[in-house]
């Protein structure tokens, strides 16, 4: 099992949902960069179920312990390491899944791959819990990007059939991100939150779950970041977005809707504005040929409904080799997208900072 990102930045995420701790080791944070520990803790706390009544009943303080890589308030060049201790585990809730795999979860595929030796408790390493260390890494790179005038922010664009107004892909500013309505959900509109909340509570009462879409923007990204073909910005962002469990779709700019358009509708005309080349529309989502155009980078991530639902479901018994049914007990999020929002921002921050280091390496 490998959860290792091997770019200019190297990062390794370790731990299991019910092991003593989960954590991350990061190589490649430039020495001397300022570290704001309070801001990091605040960012990672946005993902925590403790602060969200729409999340799982598994509430944990998610206290970050920094073990290495920081001295006198700065990153010191040594590998950075941090852990979060798992304090609220109930392994008994999961023992059945080693032979009766949950539909929609990774119990079956992991059991085949690791011959049943994988840790099934809480999903083991294949768990939404492992996005906490991803958020530690992303929270750090978000800070480093902000120091360079690059801002990342996201909102819940859709929960089930309830939609929020999308970002204006041309005129979005840092103020737009600062003025998002932030609560247990984050939206551009005031009234969509209440409707989304009501829907999530209704599916939870119905022992079910619901999917959602998170729209993310990165502002202030200079033109010329990213490489064509295999190391394009879309490739790099995608790789990190798909590290988040539950992601099933990703679109940049106009995305799938671009397939419905003519070139004359989809092309974004260039123009000069205050001496800078900009585009009048932004169907390209800020990326052309894998390289940033200088326009806002906009992408949307689709999350499936949480697989662990409390309705009875059909499954198989891998021991008896018979068809059977499963009724899941325990504690689960009714909607993954709710708490995944900072995870999306984190993934974008890691990808963009990694791409910045390309240009530094090549003296661009």
**Binding positions for ligand FMN, rule: CB under 6 A:** 56, 105-106, 123, 126-128, 131, 244-246, 304, 306-308, 332-333, 336, 339-340, 343
How far apart are the C-alpha atoms of 42 and 10, rounded to whole Å? Answer: 24
264 close to 281: Cβ distance less than 8 angstroms? no
Q: Residue 159 is encoded by which pair of tokens?
A: 């929960």
Q: CA–CA distance from 163 to each of 160, 188, 193 (Å)? A: 8, 10, 9
Residue 311: phi and psi, rounded to 5, are -80, 155
State in angstroms the smallest separation of the CB of 344 from ligand FMN.
Answer: 9
State in angstroms the smallest separation of the CB of 201 from ligand FMN.
Answer: 16
The nearer residue to ligand FMN, 28 or 103, going by C-beta atoms, is 103
Question: 6 Cβ partners below 8 Å, 6+ apart?
Answer: none
Pure H helices in the chain? 37-45, 107-113, 131-146, 174-178, 192-205, 233-241, 263-266, 336-361
State in angstroms the smallest separation of the CB of 285 from ligand FMN.
Answer: 23
State in angstroms the smallest separation of the CB of 8 from ligand FMN.
Answer: 25
The nearer residue to ligand FMN, 294 or 330, going by C-beta atoms, is 330
The nearer residue to ligand FMN, 34 or 248, going by C-beta atoms, is 248
Local structure of 309: helix, strand or coil = coil
The nearer residue to ligand FMN, 29 or 328, going by C-beta atoms, is 328
State in angstroms the smallest separation of the CB of 340 from ligand FMN.
Answer: 4
Contacts 24+ apart (CB under 8 A), 249-252: 249/301, 249/302, 250/299, 250/300, 250/301, 250/302, 251/299, 251/300, 252/284, 252/285, 252/286, 252/287, 252/297, 252/298, 252/299
The nearer residue to ligand FMN, 254 or 337, going by C-beta atoms, is 337
The nearer residue to ligand FMN, 70 or 309, going by C-beta atoms, is 309
The nearer residue to ligand FMN, 144 or 337, going by C-beta atoms, is 337
Nearest partner of 301 among 332, 268, 333, 336, judged by Cα: 336
The nearer residue to ligand FMN, 210 or 343, going by C-beta atoms, is 343
State in angstroms the smallest separation of the CB of 271 from ligand FMN.
Answer: 40
State in angstroms the smallest separation of the CB of 300 from ligand FMN.
Answer: 16
Q: CA–CA distance from 14 to each of 84, 90, 117, 137, 349 (Å)? A: 11, 20, 17, 12, 20
The nearer residue to ligand FMN, 279 or 315, going by C-beta atoms, is 315
State in angstroms the smallest separation of the CB of 26 from ligand FMN.
Answer: 20
266 close to 283: Cβ distance less than 8 angstroms? yes
Q: Which residue has the tokens 């294949």?
A: 126
State in angstroms the smallest separation of the CB of 257 from ligand FMN.
Answer: 24
């Amino acid at each position: 099992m490998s959860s290792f990102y091997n770019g200019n930045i190297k990062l390794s995420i370790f731990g299991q949902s019910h092991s003593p701790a989960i954590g991350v080791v990061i190589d490649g944070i430039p020495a001397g960069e300022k570290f704001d520990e309070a801001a990091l803790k605040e960012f990672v706390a946005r993902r925590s179920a403790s602060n969200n009544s729409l999340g799982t009943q598994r509430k944990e303080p998610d206290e970050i312990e920094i073990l290495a890589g920081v001295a006198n308030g700065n990153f010191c060049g040594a590998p950075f390491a941090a852990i979060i201790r798992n304090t609220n585990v109930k392994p008994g809730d999961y023992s059945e899944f080693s032979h009766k795999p949950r539909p929609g979860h990774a119990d079956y595929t992991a059991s085949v791959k690791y011959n049943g030796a994988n840790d099934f408790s809480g999903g083991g390493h294949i768990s939404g819990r492992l996005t906490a260390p991803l958020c530690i890494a992303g929270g750090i790179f978000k800070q480093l990007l902000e120091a360079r005038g690059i801002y990342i922010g996201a909102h819940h664009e859709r929960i089930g059939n309830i939609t929020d107004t999308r970002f204006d892909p041309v005129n979005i500013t840092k103020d737009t991100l600062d003025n998002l309505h932030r609560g247990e959900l984050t939206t551009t509109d005031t009234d969509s939150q209440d409707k989304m909340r009501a829907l999530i509570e209704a599916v939870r009462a119905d022992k079910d779950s619901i999917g959602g879409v998170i729209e993310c923007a990165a502002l202030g990204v200079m033109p010329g970041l990213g490489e064509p073909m295999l190391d394009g910005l879309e490739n790099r962002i995608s790789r990190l977005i798909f590290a988040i469990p539950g992601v099933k779709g990703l679109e940049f700019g106009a995305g799938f809707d671009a397939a419905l358009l003519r070139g004359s509708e989809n092309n974004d005309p260039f123009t000069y504005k205050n001496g800078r080349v900009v585009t009048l529309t932004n169907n390209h989502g800020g990326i052309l040929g894998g390289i940033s155009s200088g326009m806002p980078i906009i992408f949307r991530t689709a999350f499936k409904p949480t697989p662990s639902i409390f309705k009875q479901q059909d499954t198989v018994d891998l021991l008896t080799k018979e068809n059977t049914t499963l009724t899941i007990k325990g504690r689960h999020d009714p909607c993954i997208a709710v708490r995944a929002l900072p995870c999306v921002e984190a993934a974008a921050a890691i990808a963009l900072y990694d791409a910045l280091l390309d240009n530094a390496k090549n003296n661009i």
